Structure 1
Amino acid sequence: MTFELGDNQYGKAETRLVRVDRGGERHRVTDLNVTTTLAGDLTATHLTGDNAGVLPTDTQKNTVYAFARDGVGEIEAFALRLAKHFVDRNAQIHRARVKVEQYGWEPIPATGHSFSRAAGTRTASVTYDGTTAWVVSGVQDLTVMNTTGSEFHGFPRDRYTTLQETSDRILATAVTAHWRHSGSGRVDWGPSFTGARDRLLTAFAATYSLSLQQTLYSMGQHVLSGDEGLAEVRLSLPNKHHFLVDLEPFGLDNPNEVYFAADRPYGLIEGTVKRSEAPDPGLAWW
């Protein structure tokens, strides 16, 4: 019986970084969670414990902090800097992936140094192999709700089906979306992200929904249609169910006003919308 080493990688997960830019009367806060992952010629450390090619994960963490000293900027650009550094400076590393979560802070107008946490988390993921870089932007935990304009009916029924059809329901979800840039031309990362997020919200609000799947596809179409530099978008939409409360035992009616917001279980709708001509990068980019 013989064995061989398969795909492998290693890195430093969830390096927390907060940078405060103090120039001017109003401070700016950049709050990040950075994960670095490296892959390459690492057979020796797995088979014999020879660590000559293993850049310590502690070094990866320190590199994140050191690079932040010069400024972070847009998280896609920051991730690109890190990924290229790890591959270009270490011959044994053939691929780096850097994932960044950015927690937004909005200024409180009373002072120049007070903030409140913003809704949703901006994300970026960069994969670099020494020649090509794939950049994915996104957002997660962006919670949205339509109080009407949603139906759900016409589904198959069997002996276990108890769900009633509805022509008017609350539709709520916490959006996680990742969109891949095509890689052609320079990107102004900030406006690109803001535009994609705004189109997500516009599509959610404007789509008269007969299913959350229909809403997902509409959101994906809107993200791509507004930016020719985007190749595809992957969405994950948990259905945050709101059920009408039966008030009849108390002698009361309930004209679609009082709901129970269920925590779990929940439906989970996922899908990818892509341009028909978009090339497949051949990697699990999300």
Structure 2
Amino acid sequence: MSIVLGPNRYGKAETRLVRVVRDGGRHHIKDVNVSSSLSGDMAAVHLTGDNAAVLPTDTQKNTVYAFAKRHGVDQIEDFALLLARHFVEAHPTIRHARVEIEEYGWDRRGEHSFVRRGGEVRTCVVHHDADGRTTVVSGLKDLVVLNSTGSEFHGFLTDEYTTLQPTTDRVLATAVTARWRHTGGGRDYLDSYDAVRDCLVQAFAETHSLSLQQTLYAMGERALTARAEICEVRLAMPNKHHFPVDLSPFGLDNDNEVFFAADRPYGLIEGSVLREDAPDAGFAWE
């Protein structure tokens, strides 16, 4: 029996970085979480423990901090591109770099005072390899949205274990994780992010939903129709169930007014929406 080494990668996960820019007495902050993963000619380190091809994960962490000082941190996509290209181009044994960044927003409350913003987290993932292929994926997570009506669910499969009752009026709530793949680089990623986010929110609000799957598709379709710079949207949407509470023991009616918000278990709806002619990313882009 022959045993061989399969696909592998290594890196530094969750390097926390806060970059302060002092513009006189007025400060600006960038608060991010950076994770890097590298792959390439790594057989020897696994098979014999030879570290000659390995860039230490501590070096990857230090690079993040040094580049933040040297180049600054503006759009997270640009910063991720800078890091990914550096890792591949500076070290011949590294053939592929993946850099993921999460950004945490802060609202200004003074010249140098801020309050951490709630809600969703902006994200990006950049891939770059030694053949010059680059993929930029922007996204968000924990975007919590809710429609208090305008959602139905009926006509589904049933069997001897089915207890769920059909409904023509329910609360539809979810915490959206979305990622969208760009067709090229060199753009205003913030403008693109704001526009795609608006498309997702508007489609959720305006779609009379017969299923969360239908809403997922409508959200991806809206973003792709409106924004030519993206070619694929991937969405993960847990169904944050809201169940009407039985108030009859107390002599009260409940016409979809009082709900129990269950946190688990939950339905998880996932899917991708893409242009028919979307270019192949060349590699898995998660």
TM-score interval, normalised by the smaller of the two chains: over 0.9
Question: Using the alignment, how far apart are the partners of 2:124 and 2:67 within structure 1?
Answer: 17
Deviation at residue 24 of structure 1 after TM alignment? 4.7
Question: Using the alignment, how far apart are the partners of 2:159 and 2:28 within structure 1?
Answer: 56
Question: Using the alignment, how far apart are the partners of 1:90 and 1:282 within structure 2?
Answer: 21
Deviation at residue 52 of structure 1 after TM alignment? 1.0
**2:161 corresponds to which letter in structure 1?**
Y
**Local SS of the residue matching 2:155:** coil
Question: Using the alignment, how far apart are the partners of 2:24 and 2:267 within structure 1?
Answer: 47
Cα pair 2:139 2:178 within 8 Å, conserved: yes
Partner of 2:276: 276
Cα pair 2:174 2:237 within 8 Å, conserved: yes
Question: Using the alignment, how far apart are the partners of 1:168 and 1:104 within structure 2?
Answer: 35
Cα pair 1:121 1:139 within 8 Å, conserved: yes
Segment drifting more, 16-25 vs 43-52: 16-25
Cα pair 2:106 2:114 within 8 Å, conserved: no
Partner of 2:126: 126
Can you give the 5+ residue segments of structure 1 that lack an aligned partner in the other structure?
Answer: none
Partner of 1:174: 175
Partner of 1:208: 208
Deviation at residue 190 of structure 1 after TM alignment? 0.8
Question: Using the alignment, how far apart are the partners of 2:7 and 2:114 within structure 1?
Answer: 46
Question: Using the alignment, how far apart are the partners of 2:105 and 2:95 within structure 1?
Answer: 33
Partner of 1:61: 61
Cα pair 1:26 1:113 within 8 Å, conserved: no
Cα pair 1:104 1:119 within 8 Å, conserved: no
Show CA shifts across 1:90-148 (max 9, x none).
0100000000011111223x564122323200000000012111000000010000111
**1:219 corresponds to which letter in structure 2?**
M
Show CA shifts across 1:188-242 (max 9, x none).
1110111111111011111111110000000000111111111100000000000
1:9 aligns with 2:5: no
Cα pair 1:12 1:60 within 8 Å, conserved: yes
Show CA shifts across 1:35-92 (max 9, x none).
1000011111111111111110000000001111131010000000000000000010
**Local SS of the residue matching 1:119:** coil
Can you give the 5+ residue segments of structure 2 that lack an aligned partner in the other structure?
Answer: none
Cα pair 1:104 1:117 within 8 Å, conserved: yes
Question: Using the alignment, how far apart are the partners of 2:151 and 2:163 within structure 1?
Answer: 19
Question: Using the alignment, how far apart are the partners of 2:271 and 2:196 within structure 1?
Answer: 17
Cα pair 2:123 2:138 within 8 Å, conserved: yes
Deviation at residue 255 of structure 1 after TM alignment? 1.6
**Local SS of the residue matching 1:22:** strand
Segment drifting more, 85-94 vs 112-121: 112-121
Question: Using the alignment, how far apart are the partners of 2:16 and 2:269 within structure 1?
Answer: 30
1:93 aligns with 2:94: yes
Q: Structure 2-normalised TM-score?
A: 0.96
Partner of 2:80: 79
Cα pair 1:106 1:118 within 8 Å, conserved: no
**Local SS of the residue matching 1:27:** strand
Cα pair 1:20 1:29 within 8 Å, conserved: yes
> Equivalent pairs: percent with the same residue?
61
Show CA shifts across 1:173-193 (max 9, x none).
00000000112x631111011
Partner of 1:115: 115
Partner of 2:30: 30
**Local SS of the residue matching 1:118:** coil
Partner of 1:41: 41
**Local SS of the residue matching 2:39:** strand
Cα pair 2:25 2:111 within 8 Å, conserved: no
What CA RMSD, in Å, does the superposition of the two structures yield over aligned residues? 1.2
Partner of 1:245: 245
**1:6 corresponds to which letter in structure 2?**
G
Residues matched between the structures, number:
284
Question: Using the alignment, how far apart are the partners of 2:112 and 2:14 within structure 1?
Answer: 29
